[in-house]
Structure 1
Amino acid sequence: MIGVRWVLTGAVVLCGVVSPMAWADSEVAESRDCYLDGWRNTLRCSRLTVGKGDTRVSLAVMVAPAVSESDKAPLYLLAGGPGQAASDLAPMLNFFRRVNRERAIVLVDRRGAGLSQSLDCGWNLMLPTNLEVFSSELADCYLEQKSFANSLSSRQAVNDLERVRKHLGHRKIALWGVSWGTRTALLYQQWYPESLSVLVLDAVAPIETKVFLTAQAAEGALQALERDCLKDRACAQLDDWRTELNDLLENWQATAIPFPDPFTGVLSEEPVPRWVLQNVIRGALYHPETAALLPYAIKQASRGNYLPLSAIEGLLRQNTMSLGLTFSVACAEELNRISPEDVARDEAGTFLGNAFLEMFERGCQVWPVSEKPYAKPEPRSHPVLLISGEADPITPPRYADEQLQYLSNKQHLVIAGGGHSNTGRGCIPELIADFLHAPDKPLEQGCMEEMHRPPFMVDGFGPAPGRKTPLVEGENTLGGEHL
């Protein structure tokens, strides 16, 4: 789920005995009508002031009221990152229109994100690609807001959610989380089980999984792309692009090649380091639409034309994370439990290597927050719907299959060719609504058979022309239809 969105795109513990909470230090501002980009309907917005002194924050709480009053538990949407703002999820409300008929939908920007005193360190667009410069600027940000940085944690975010639940007068709530938001939801389930009705987890980051070790997952996603390209007659003609990618990375020098600007075509003044190129590839794998561009872009780059790769970089360029929050949580709850042996195993035989983790390793050296470990999860029986993309480069389906044995009442949807976050794809919104309506009933998953990868880009004009491109004989493809 850095520098540009391709490093942090998405993705991705903290437990212990639940302590009594003092609610008297909260202050509530009167609710009012408001709007968020991406959702045309009126929201009800309020502020809940929490914390004390220089860690005091006014939480932004936004509610899409149910169309019809009912006794259904409201659905809270939990953003990823860590560092994404829930208010940025407003366009997702369009996928929950059926749910919203009878359930209120709630967005809460956690402390340090979005409208709740974003700790973005001034990086709201681009990040430095020079890691020494990045580390220096990050260190300055930490020193300027040391108390606030040390106060941020998953425990705090979960406790604040419980405050909001009480503030809004909700008896029980349902949670939908994406990427790191699934970690937050699972922790809420551990610490406040009596406040929870059901969970919907998209791109699952289990409590015990070291999700910042992403090289093997990214490699698996790239191999799935290679497999599906070979099953698609048009894409298969871009033969051996994976070998060409390996050669490109092996021969890429940190001072070698500037990318042309994706909007003007003019060569940039600064060359692209290899770790950035590796993360461009990784970031493109998050979404099937951008992954479908990779074989052609890599083929062109091997011939000296870097404009298609630059165009992909341009699509992923903007940073949307509050990176101070990202490092406060990642350094205290994730990087602290990753050993050198873990890193060596994860990067072995992968195109990504240590290119994603290196920025966090360097960043945590200058962001010295204390460790906040998790306890072993306890069994829970809430109904849980798990959603995974088959080709997710950071939270693959095996995480949900192997690391959630303590959940006794779960269903798992795996989307063929899907990347990271699949709530808005095909019939998934309808299946989520069905699950929330009858969470103990097995879902009918037949509609998912119609979900495939989008057509691959095969030349400068896009996908191959024609109504349908014949498949390689004897193959049942996930490659999609060429329109």
Structure 2
Amino acid sequence: MFAFGLSALAWAEADSPFQTCYLDGWSNSLRCYLVAVGEGESGSELAVMVAPAVNEEGREPLYLLAGGPGQAASDLAPLLNVFRKVNRERAIVMVDRRGAGRSGAFSCGLKRDMPADLQQFSRRLADCYLERAEFANSLGSRQTVEDLERVRRYLGHGRIALWGGSWGTRTALLYQQWYPDSLSALVLDAVAPIETKVFLTATAAERALRQLEKDCERDRVCAGFGDWRGALDRLLDNWGELEATHFPDPLTGAPLETPLTRWMLANAIRTALYQPTAAAQLPYALYQAERGNLLPLSGVAGQFLDNADSMSMGLTFSVACAEELSRITTDEVAADSADSFLGTAFYDLFATGCEAWPVDSKPYEKPQVREQPVLLISGEADPITPPYYAERQLDYLVNKQHLVVAGGGHINTPRGCIPDLIAQFLDAPFEPLAQDCVAEIRRPPFMAGAFGPALGVIGGQEPRGGQL
């Protein structure tokens, strides 16, 4: 569901239980382990990376759980910069789950050359599944949680705290259900509750776009682009004709060799809503597109057309097909996609893929009441895990606090005062947090022209020093 970019792992020799290693995005050395789990075809060695506490004071370590499903925890290394205050007294642990990252990435060769044609995509998935059917069926959230518990014991940790982002919040909530005695506290950013069918995302994406539209109307510069939302609808409605003109390459401006399909464009718009900086470019880009200039839209979409590069697609489909698509009905798809710019564009990718990935369904049990303190973080304009998921569900979490970032997209941990609030929460998880500073976090300024936002103007007014 989100990515921080690929990380290169370099191992160094050492006569100790761990080796010294490095990850892109973090300048300090890490302690890295290989932990054997499973047997036979489903067996693996888990890559475990630990940023030791600066001051060894015995506080519970914090484990970072990646999203996707299919992202590697090692890709979260840039978050260590965000968690520097936490890392002073707590070790931070990243475990690449089986089939991801350095734990035997199960990518099926689907990286930057992912086919635009869904049927061709399905055939490539089918070939990959047949090559490793046993392994594909073995992957799932239960296995991941059991592996995390094994790593906790291997490292000699007592109770641990968990930070989960996006699908990582689902993993964290399941860990809380199955191993509550091993857990001290949870921080859940972009919450995907156990009972929520998050792959029904068209309604959430539409709400995020409408929030962008409201914020644009209140901005003097952005309001000048008029009905850019209508321009998006008209663009998507007529995209078959525009394909023949060949969408421009975002790097060269020359026509793409392979036409950009409608489902890819709709998903690129959806993914742009994940990041407030990218969302701020959409009104201008769509205004220009309706006037025949597709280059700004190409620049926005081009940031997200290859975002599968950060996912191990075999793992993604093993989890998504068994735990999400298997419990979604056609009536639910129709209700979710109605009156949304996205329609079924996101769902169709997974529905088509799951036809070629026949893993057994892995249903969840009804969540039981849990008393560990939980900090929930949501973006007001998150297009896949909106705030109402955290507000209307999670009744089984007795001790919870909720931070909602106005205009925020998907994953808000790095923004404004949120890192400080997370550190405060982990130190005193049952104490209410003062949330005044969250209101100071604002959307980035809207793009005003080819060179970016209007200088000296934020939100149609003079800058007021708010945090971005």
Please confirm whether the aligned pair reaches a TM-score higher than 0.5, indicating the same fold.
yes
Deviations 1:376-427 (A, max 9, x none): 0000010000000000000000000111011010000000000000000011
Partners in 1 of 2:117 and 2:128 — Cα distance?
A: 17
Partners in 2 of 1:359 and 1:479 — Cα distance?
A: 43
Aligned: 1:222 with 2:209: yes
The one-letter amino acid paired with 1:349 is D
Partners in 2 of 1:104 and 1:316 — Cα distance?
A: 33
Partners in 2 of 1:480 and 1:356 — Cα distance?
A: 37
Partners in 1 of 2:458 and 2:200 — Cα distance?
A: 39
Q: Which residue of 2 is the match for residue 259 of structure 1? A: 247
Deviations 1:6-36 (A, max 9, x none): xx779xxxxxxxxxxxxxxxxxx93111110
Q: Which residue of 1 is the match for residue 334 of structure 2? A: 344
Deviation at 1:256, TM superposition (A): 3.6
Identity score, percent: 64
SS of the residue aligned with 2:63?
Answer: strand
Structure 1, 245-254 or 150-159: larger mean CA deviation: 245-254
Alignment of 1:308-323 (within 5 A): 308-318=296-306, 319-323=309-313
Aligned: 1:363 with 2:350: no
Partners in 1 of 2:467 and 2:328 — Cα distance?
A: 43
Structure 1, 179-188 or 302-311: larger mean CA deviation: 302-311
User: Per chain length, whose mean CA-contact separation is higher, i.e. which structure has more relative contact order (CA < 8 Å, sep 6+)?
Assistant: 1
Q: Which residue of 1 is the match for residue 283 of structure 2? A: 295
Query: Compared with structure 1, are the counterparts of its residues 129 and 330 closer, same or farther at alpha carbon in structure 2 (3 Å cutoff)?
Result: same
Partners in 1 of 2:136 and 2:108 — Cα distance?
A: 11
Partners in 1 of 2:274 and 2:264 — Cα distance?
A: 16
Deviation at 1:462, TM superposition (A): 1.0
The one-letter amino acid paired with 2:395 is Q
Q: Which residue of 2 is the match for residue 65 of structure 1? A: 52
Question: Would you say the 8 A contact 1:468–1:481 is kept in 2?
Answer: no
Structure 1, 106-115 or 306-315: larger mean CA deviation: 306-315
Q: Which residue of 2 is the match for residue 15 of structure 1? A: none
Question: Would you say the 8 A contact 1:453–1:480 is kept in 2?
Answer: no
Partners in 1 of 2:264 and 2:247 — Cα distance?
A: 11
Query: Compared with structure 1, are the counterparts of its residues 211 and 257 closer, same or farther at alpha carbon in structure 2 (3 Å cutoff)?
Result: farther
The one-letter amino acid paired with 2:337 is E
Query: Compared with structure 1, are the counterparts of its residues 355 and 467 closer, same or farther at alpha carbon in structure 2 (3 Å cutoff)?
Result: closer
SS of the residue aligned with 1:39?
Answer: coil
Q: Which residue of 1 is the match for residue 267 of structure 2? A: 279
Deviations 1:415-470 (A, max 9, x none): 00000000000110000001001101110111112110000002112111235564
Q: Which residue of 2 is the match for residue 381 of structure 1? A: 371
The one-letter amino acid paired with 1:182 is T
The one-letter amino acid paired with 2:275 is H
Question: Would you say the 8 A contact 2:3–2:75 is kept in 1?
Answer: no
1:137 to 124, 128, 136: 124
2:389 to 395, 399, 404: 399
Alignment gaps of 5+ in structure 1: 2-7, 11-28, 472-476
Partners in 1 of 2:413 and 2:83 — Cα distance?
A: 9
Deviations 1:288-317 (A, max 9, x none): 000000001111111111111111122123
TM normalised by structure 2 equals 0.94
Query: Compared with structure 1, are the counterparts of its residues 339 and 395 closer, same or farther at alpha carbon in structure 2 (3 Å cutoff)?
Result: same
Alignment of 1:4-403 (within 5 A): 30-253=17-240, 255-318=243-306, 319-403=309-393
Query: Compared with structure 1, are the counterparts of its residues 400 and 478 closer, same or farther at alpha carbon in structure 2 (3 Å cutoff)?
Result: farther
Deviation at 1:480, TM superposition (A): 9.6
Partners in 2 of 1:250 and 1:263 — Cα distance?
A: 26
Q: Which residue of 2 is the match for residue 416 of structure 1? A: 406
SS of the residue aligned with 1:216?
Answer: helix
Question: Would you say the 8 A contact 1:30–1:47 is kept in 2?
Answer: no
Alignment gaps of 5+ in structure 2: 5-15
